[in-house]
Amino acid sequence: MANQQPEFNIKKVLPIAIIFGALVFIIIFWSRMTVTIKGGYGGVLFQTFVGGIDTTNTYGEGFHFIAPWNDMIEYETRQQEVAENMDVLSSNGLSIKADISAWYEPEYAQLGLLHSRIGTDYVKRIVIPALRSSARSVIGRYTPEQIYSTKRDAIQDEIYTEARLILDNKYVSLNRILIRSIVLPETIKSAIEGKLKQEQESLEYEFKIQKAQKEAERQIIDAEGKAAANKILNASLTDKILQEKGISATIKLAESNNTKVVIIGNSSNGMPIILGDMK
Protein backbone atom coordinates (compact mmCIF):
# COMPACT_ATOMS: atom_id res chain seq x y z
CA MET A 1 0.00 0.00 0.00
CA ALA A 2 1.46 3.39 -0.99
CA ASN A 3 2.40 5.89 1.76
CA GLN A 4 -0.14 8.74 2.09
CA GLN A 5 1.08 12.35 2.57
CA PRO A 6 -0.22 14.03 5.82
CA GLU A 7 -3.00 16.44 5.07
CA PHE A 8 -2.09 20.12 5.67
CA ASN A 9 -4.58 21.65 8.13
CA ILE A 10 -4.60 25.40 7.59
CA LYS A 11 -7.04 25.96 10.43
CA LYS A 12 -4.47 24.71 12.92
CA VAL A 13 -1.52 26.53 11.39
CA LEU A 14 -3.17 29.93 10.92
CA PRO A 15 -3.54 30.88 14.61
CA ILE A 16 0.07 29.86 15.23
CA ALA A 17 1.24 31.94 12.30
CA ILE A 18 -0.76 34.95 13.49
CA ILE A 19 0.70 34.70 16.99
CA PHE A 20 4.21 34.28 15.62
CA GLY A 21 3.76 37.23 13.26
CA ALA A 22 2.42 39.40 16.08
CA LEU A 23 5.41 38.55 18.26
CA VAL A 24 7.81 39.40 15.44
CA PHE A 25 5.95 42.66 14.85
CA ILE A 26 6.10 43.61 18.52
CA ILE A 27 9.79 42.77 18.78
CA ILE A 28 10.65 44.79 15.69
CA PHE A 29 8.46 47.78 16.47
CA TRP A 30 8.60 47.78 20.30
CA SER A 31 10.81 50.86 20.42
CA ARG A 32 8.35 52.65 18.14
CA MET A 33 5.31 51.60 20.20
CA THR A 34 6.50 52.76 23.60
CA VAL A 35 7.50 56.21 24.80
CA THR A 36 8.76 57.32 28.22
CA ILE A 37 8.41 61.06 28.82
CA LYS A 38 11.05 62.39 31.20
CA GLY A 39 10.36 64.43 34.33
CA GLY A 40 9.75 68.10 33.61
CA TYR A 41 8.58 67.40 30.05
CA GLY A 42 5.26 67.06 28.24
CA GLY A 43 4.44 65.21 25.04
CA VAL A 44 2.64 66.12 21.83
CA LEU A 45 1.37 63.24 19.68
CA PHE A 46 1.63 63.35 15.89
CA GLN A 47 -0.86 60.92 14.35
CA THR A 48 0.29 60.01 10.85
CA PHE A 49 -3.01 58.66 9.54
CA VAL A 50 -5.57 60.33 11.81
CA GLY A 51 -5.42 64.10 11.58
CA GLY A 52 -1.80 64.94 12.32
CA ILE A 53 -0.97 66.82 15.54
CA ASP A 54 -3.20 66.14 18.54
CA THR A 55 -3.82 69.72 19.71
CA THR A 56 -6.27 68.80 22.49
CA ASN A 57 -4.15 66.52 24.67
CA THR A 58 -0.81 66.92 26.41
CA TYR A 59 0.85 63.66 27.45
CA GLY A 60 2.36 63.72 30.90
CA GLU A 61 5.49 62.24 32.40
CA GLY A 62 5.93 58.47 32.35
CA PHE A 63 5.31 55.47 30.08
CA HIS A 64 2.95 55.57 27.08
CA PHE A 65 1.91 53.17 24.28
CA ILE A 66 1.49 54.68 20.82
CA ALA A 67 0.95 53.28 17.35
CA PRO A 68 4.31 52.60 15.67
CA TRP A 69 3.51 54.92 12.79
CA ASN A 70 2.88 57.86 15.15
CA ASP A 71 5.46 60.15 16.79
CA MET A 72 5.68 61.72 20.26
CA ILE A 73 7.42 65.13 20.42
CA GLU A 74 8.67 66.21 23.84
CA TYR A 75 8.77 69.77 25.22
CA GLU A 76 10.47 70.87 28.42
CA THR A 77 7.75 72.38 30.59
CA ARG A 78 9.93 73.69 33.45
CA GLN A 79 10.85 77.35 33.78
CA GLN A 80 13.74 78.19 31.47
CA GLU A 81 15.94 81.22 30.85
CA VAL A 82 17.15 82.91 27.72
CA ALA A 83 19.70 85.74 27.85
CA GLU A 84 20.49 88.33 25.20
CA ASN A 85 23.40 90.74 24.89
CA MET A 86 22.29 93.61 22.72
CA ASP A 87 23.22 97.11 21.66
CA VAL A 88 20.39 99.59 22.24
CA LEU A 89 20.03 103.34 21.89
CA SER A 90 19.05 105.66 24.73
CA SER A 91 16.62 108.55 24.32
CA ASN A 92 19.46 110.87 23.27
CA GLY A 93 20.89 108.40 20.75
CA LEU A 94 23.84 107.02 22.74
CA SER A 95 24.72 103.34 22.27
CA ILE A 96 24.33 101.17 25.37
CA LYS A 97 25.16 97.51 25.86
CA ALA A 98 22.48 95.65 27.78
CA ASP A 99 22.52 92.07 29.06
CA ILE A 100 18.89 91.08 29.61
CA SER A 101 17.38 87.70 30.40
CA ALA A 102 13.82 86.34 30.38
CA TRP A 103 12.33 83.55 32.49
CA TYR A 104 9.66 81.69 30.55
CA GLU A 105 7.90 78.35 30.17
CA PRO A 106 5.53 76.87 27.56
CA GLU A 107 1.89 76.61 28.60
CA TYR A 108 1.45 72.94 29.48
CA ALA A 109 -2.14 72.55 28.35
CA GLN A 110 -1.38 74.29 25.03
CA LEU A 111 1.65 72.26 23.92
CA GLY A 112 -0.25 70.82 20.96
CA LEU A 113 -1.16 74.27 19.66
CA LEU A 114 2.38 75.53 20.31
CA HIS A 115 3.80 72.68 18.23
CA SER A 116 1.20 73.07 15.51
CA ARG A 117 1.42 76.83 15.05
CA ILE A 118 4.97 77.74 16.09
CA GLY A 119 7.12 74.63 16.51
CA THR A 120 9.89 73.27 18.68
CA ASP A 121 12.14 76.26 17.97
CA TYR A 122 9.60 78.65 19.51
CA VAL A 123 12.32 80.30 21.65
CA LYS A 124 14.13 81.51 18.53
CA ARG A 125 10.91 82.36 16.72
CA ILE A 126 8.96 84.30 19.36
CA VAL A 127 10.63 84.56 22.81
CA ILE A 128 13.93 86.14 21.75
CA PRO A 129 12.33 88.55 19.24
CA ALA A 130 9.82 89.66 21.90
CA LEU A 131 12.64 90.24 24.40
CA ARG A 132 14.74 92.21 21.92
CA SER A 133 11.88 94.33 20.61
CA SER A 134 10.53 95.28 24.04
CA ALA A 135 14.02 96.03 25.44
CA ARG A 136 14.88 98.38 22.57
CA SER A 137 11.51 100.10 22.81
CA VAL A 138 11.65 100.69 26.56
CA ILE A 139 15.33 101.63 26.93
CA GLY A 140 14.93 104.11 24.08
CA ARG A 141 12.65 106.20 26.33
CA TYR A 142 15.31 106.85 28.98
CA THR A 143 18.53 108.82 29.24
CA PRO A 144 21.83 107.03 30.08
CA GLU A 145 21.76 108.63 33.54
CA GLN A 146 18.30 107.24 34.29
CA ILE A 147 19.24 103.80 32.98
CA TYR A 148 22.46 103.71 34.99
CA SER A 149 21.22 105.02 38.32
CA THR A 150 17.55 105.37 39.15
CA LYS A 151 15.26 103.65 36.65
CA ARG A 152 16.50 100.05 36.36
CA ASP A 153 13.55 98.51 38.22
CA ALA A 154 11.06 100.59 36.23
CA ILE A 155 12.75 99.56 32.97
CA GLN A 156 12.57 95.87 33.95
CA ASP A 157 8.86 96.17 34.68
CA GLU A 158 8.14 97.99 31.41
CA ILE A 159 10.09 95.46 29.32
CA TYR A 160 8.18 92.66 31.04
CA THR A 161 4.83 94.33 30.31
CA GLU A 162 5.61 94.92 26.64
CA ALA A 163 7.09 91.45 26.09
CA ARG A 164 4.01 89.85 27.65
CA LEU A 165 1.79 91.71 25.22
CA ILE A 166 3.86 90.43 22.30
CA LEU A 167 3.70 86.85 23.62
CA ASP A 168 -0.03 87.01 24.35
CA ASN A 169 -1.83 84.08 22.68
CA LYS A 170 1.52 82.55 21.67
CA TYR A 171 1.21 79.66 24.18
CA VAL A 172 4.22 80.79 26.22
CA SER A 173 4.16 82.21 29.77
CA LEU A 174 6.65 84.98 30.53
CA ASN A 175 7.49 84.93 34.24
CA ARG A 176 10.10 87.65 34.68
CA ILE A 177 12.56 90.00 32.99
CA LEU A 178 15.97 90.65 34.55
CA ILE A 179 18.49 93.32 33.56
CA ARG A 180 21.75 91.57 34.38
CA SER A 181 24.04 94.42 33.36
CA ILE A 182 24.06 97.82 31.68
CA VAL A 183 27.33 99.02 30.14
CA LEU A 184 27.65 102.68 29.17
CA PRO A 185 30.48 104.32 27.22
CA GLU A 186 33.30 105.05 29.69
CA THR A 187 33.13 108.84 29.21
CA ILE A 188 29.39 108.88 29.87
CA LYS A 189 29.77 106.60 32.89
CA SER A 190 32.49 108.83 34.40
CA ALA A 191 30.41 111.97 33.83
CA ILE A 192 27.35 110.40 35.47
CA GLU A 193 29.34 109.16 38.47
CA GLY A 194 30.89 112.63 38.91
CA LYS A 195 27.50 114.27 38.80
CA LEU A 196 26.05 111.79 41.27
CA LYS A 197 28.97 112.42 43.63
CA GLN A 198 28.41 116.18 43.48
CA GLU A 199 24.70 115.72 44.14
CA GLN A 200 25.51 113.52 47.14
CA GLU A 201 27.93 116.09 48.55
CA SER A 202 25.34 118.83 48.02
CA LEU A 203 22.73 116.80 49.89
CA GLU A 204 25.16 116.21 52.76
CA TYR A 205 25.93 119.96 52.93
CA GLU A 206 22.23 120.84 52.98
CA PHE A 207 21.70 118.29 55.74
CA LYS A 208 24.44 119.87 57.86
CA ILE A 209 22.95 123.33 57.34
CA GLN A 210 19.48 122.11 58.30
CA LYS A 211 20.93 120.40 61.38
CA ALA A 212 22.72 123.60 62.45
CA GLN A 213 19.57 125.65 61.91
CA LYS A 214 17.52 123.25 64.00
CA GLU A 215 20.14 123.34 66.78
CA ALA A 216 20.09 127.17 66.74
CA GLU A 217 16.30 127.17 66.88
CA ARG A 218 16.42 124.73 69.79
CA GLN A 219 18.84 126.96 71.71
CA ILE A 220 16.66 130.04 71.06
CA ILE A 221 13.57 128.21 72.28
CA ASP A 222 15.49 126.99 75.36
CA ALA A 223 16.75 130.50 76.15
CA GLU A 224 13.28 131.98 75.66
CA GLY A 225 11.88 129.35 78.02
CA LYS A 226 14.44 130.13 80.70
CA ALA A 227 13.87 133.89 80.35
CA ALA A 228 10.11 133.40 80.69
CA ALA A 229 10.62 131.21 83.77
CA ASN A 230 12.91 133.81 85.38
CA LYS A 231 10.41 136.53 84.61
CA ILE A 232 7.63 134.58 86.30
CA LEU A 233 9.90 133.81 89.27
CA ASN A 234 10.98 137.44 89.70
CA ALA A 235 7.38 138.58 89.55
CA SER A 236 6.46 136.16 92.33
CA LEU A 237 9.32 137.17 94.71
CA THR A 238 7.74 140.06 96.70
CA ASP A 239 9.40 141.76 99.70
CA LYS A 240 7.21 139.83 102.13
CA ILE A 241 8.23 136.51 100.61
CA LEU A 242 11.92 137.47 100.70
CA GLN A 243 11.65 138.53 104.37
CA GLU A 244 9.92 135.29 105.26
CA LYS A 245 12.61 133.23 103.50
CA GLY A 246 15.33 135.30 105.22
CA ILE A 247 13.85 134.66 108.66
CA SER A 248 13.61 130.94 107.89
CA ALA A 249 17.24 130.86 106.75
CA THR A 250 18.33 132.78 109.90
CA ILE A 251 16.63 130.29 112.20
CA LYS A 252 18.32 127.36 110.43
CA LEU A 253 21.72 129.07 110.64
CA ALA A 254 21.26 129.83 114.31
CA GLU A 255 20.47 126.18 115.01
CA SER A 256 23.56 125.03 113.10
CA ASN A 257 26.70 123.90 115.03
CA ASN A 258 28.99 125.85 112.72
CA THR A 259 30.58 129.01 114.15
CA LYS A 260 29.31 132.13 112.47
CA VAL A 261 28.08 135.65 113.16
CA VAL A 262 24.58 136.48 112.05
CA ILE A 263 23.57 140.14 112.21
CA ILE A 264 19.87 140.84 111.91
CA GLY A 265 19.44 144.46 111.03
CA ASN A 266 17.01 146.80 109.37
CA SER A 267 18.51 146.67 105.88
CA SER A 268 16.58 147.68 102.83
CA ASN A 269 15.32 144.19 102.27
CA GLY A 270 15.30 142.95 105.88
CA MET A 271 17.64 140.06 105.09
CA PRO A 272 20.23 138.91 107.69
CA ILE A 273 23.96 139.53 107.17
CA ILE A 274 26.12 136.40 107.56
CA LEU A 275 29.80 137.03 108.36
CA GLY A 276 30.85 133.38 108.30
CA ASP A 277 33.18 131.27 110.48
CA MET A 278 34.99 133.30 113.20
CA LYS A 279 37.88 130.84 113.73
- Mention the CATH class of domain 80-184: alpha beta
Could you state, in chain order, the average pLDDT of each consecutive group of 10 residues for the chain (279 residues)? Answer: 54 64 61 84 92 92 88 95 91 87 96 95 96 94 79 90 95 95 73 63 71 79 77 67 67 64 54 54
Residue 12's contacts (CB-CB under 8 Å, 6 or more residues apart) are: none
pLDDT score at 1: 46
User: Between vectors from CA 86 to CA 85 and to CA 91, what angle results, nearest 5°?
Assistant: 140
What does pTM read for this prediction?
0.60
pLDDT score at 121: 95
Domains of the chain: which residue ranges? 12-76, 80-184, 239-274
Q: For residue 138, which of 160, 155, 163, 157 has the smallest C-alpha distance?
A: 155
Say how far apart CA 157 and CA 217 lie, in whole Å. Answer: 45
